[in-house]
Amino acid sequence: MQIRSRSFAAVQALEGLENSLKVYIGRVGALGDPAFTGHLAAAEAQLRAKSAGNPAIGNPWGDIAKAMASGQTAEITDMERDLRVRGGVPLPFSM
């Protein structure tokens, strides 16, 4: 019974690792696709135009640029942590 339980746990861990790798490969592929990134750039430009001059929104892009220039960084997210290490096994890539 214990061997089956360990085997099941190992299979689950492997499937989780495989799924994380599929997600990473998909993201890298999408971000390398000029059509996809062009669509993102157009959507961002449209959003910037709609939000320009709205005092309730402010200037989030300027705020981000200032934070980046000053060296401020956000804490690592759970997703990033999961992508870097899955089940205690380092993945063969880093973000």
pLDDT at 87: 53
Cα 26 from Cα 20, distance rounded (Å): 10
Domain that holds residue 64: 2-86
41 backbone dihedrals φ, ψ, rounded to 5°: -65, -40
pLDDT at 49: 92
92 assigned to some structural domain: no
- Pair of tokens at residue 18: 């495989």
Averaged pLDDT, 79-86: 61
Structural domain total, the chain:
1
Residue 92: pLDDT above 60? Answer: no
94 assigned to some structural domain: no
Over residues 19-32, the pLDDT tens digits come to 999 999 998 898 88
55 assigned to some structural domain: yes
95 assigned to some structural domain: no
